[in-house]
Amino acid sequence: MAVKADTQSHSINANHPPLDSTLKDNEFDFNASASVSGEFLTSSPDKTSQKAYQQSEKRKTSRRAYEQSEKRKAYLKAYRESEKGKTFRKAYEQSEKGKASRKAYEQSEKRKAYKQSEKWKASQKAYEQSEKRKAYQKAYQKAYQKAYRNSEKGKASRKAYRESDKGKASKKAYQKAYRESEKGKASRNAYQKAYYEIFKNTCDREQAKIAGKQAVDFVRESNRAKNSELESIPISPLPPSCLSG
């Protein structure tokens, strides 16, 4: 009986591999399957088998196929457009690691080669002509010009230009064009009317000028005319009663 039992035990062991070996094989298959779906298990008692698989061509092929799959692309797109993805990307871009990574990428040969490709040129051309780009440029220029005008450098630059020969010539040409425009005529008429009415009653030039300027300011605000020069606006002849004074 002992011989028979031993024979049966040997037969069972021959037909079935050891339990420990079976578990390891199953775990190896599970890790291989998980890697294809994009998930990786790092806790594995069989590190040698796992390392061998990760370095194998089979693993590289599986990973490459997953990265190029429509499922992977759809997942990445959905994540990028989600609030969580936007928040993570913004935080990463502002981090030291993100800045260093971006700088390294910009200086890489891969980036240089991409900038010379037809794909990049087509992408840039499409972006330059897009409404998004135009809106961004308009907003940026407006904000930049406002900040520059209010800066000490901007004020000094405007003052130097006004006092230059070119600035004076430009101002003179603008005044002439403005006087001949509809806005200029409306401002001049408003100035003359207000000036004459006040001066006729008071014979006070300063008060008349103030009234004329206020009238022009009202017209400018209504018509949104900018940078008008009140000094170049002619006034109506003085009433005879004021000439003697």
**Exposed e or buried b per residue across 187-202, where buried means at least 16 C-beta atoms within 10 angstroms of its C-beta:** bbebbbebbbebbeee
- How far apart, in whole angstroms, are the C-alpha atoms of residue 107 and residue 101? 10
pLDDT confidence tier of residue 41, bands split at 50, 70 and 90: very low
- Other C-beta atoms closer than 10 Å to the C-beta of 228 total 22
CA distances from 22 to 26, 27, 155 (A): 6, 9, 82
Q: Calculate mean pLDDT across residues 107-119.
A: 89
**Is residue 152's pLDDT more than 90?**
yes
- CA 236, CA 132: separation in Å to the nearest integer? 52
pLDDT tops 80 at residue 54: no
Torsion of CA 90, 95, 101, 103, to 10 degrees: 90
What residues have CB less than 8 Å from 29, skipping those under 6 apart?
A: none
Q: Which of 7-21, 57-71, 181-195, 224-238 has the lowest mean pLDDT?
A: 7-21
**Most trustworthy range by pLDDT among 16-20, 124-128, 177-181:** 124-128
Q: What is the pLDDT of residue 234?
A: 55
pLDDT in tens, 74-85: 888 898 889 998
Six-digit token pair at 72? 């992977």
Q: Are 161 and 227 in contact, with CB atoms under 8 Å apart?
A: no
- pLDDT score, position 62: 83
- Does position 65 have pLDDT exceeding 90, yes or no? no
In this prediction, residue 233 has a pLDDT band, given cuts at 50, 70 and 90, of: low
Instruction: Look up residue 15 and give its two tokens.
Output: 């037909």
Band the pLDDT of 245: cuts 50, 70, 90.
Answer: very low
Q: Which two tokens stand for residue 14?
A: 């021959």
pLDDT of residue 242: 56
- Number of residues written out for the chain: 245
CA pseudo-torsion sign 100, 103, 108, 113: positive
Report the alpha-carbon distance of residue 36 to residue 75 in Å, rounded.
15
Per-residue pLDDT, averaged over 195-209, amounts to: 88
DSSP E strand stretches across 96-239: none
Q: What is the mean pLDDT of residues 89-105?
A: 90
Count of other CB atoms within 10 angstroms of residue 50 = 21
pLDDT attached to residue 115: 87
- Confidence band (pLDDT; 50, 70, 90) for 59? confident
Q: Quick check: 155 pLDDT over 80? A: yes
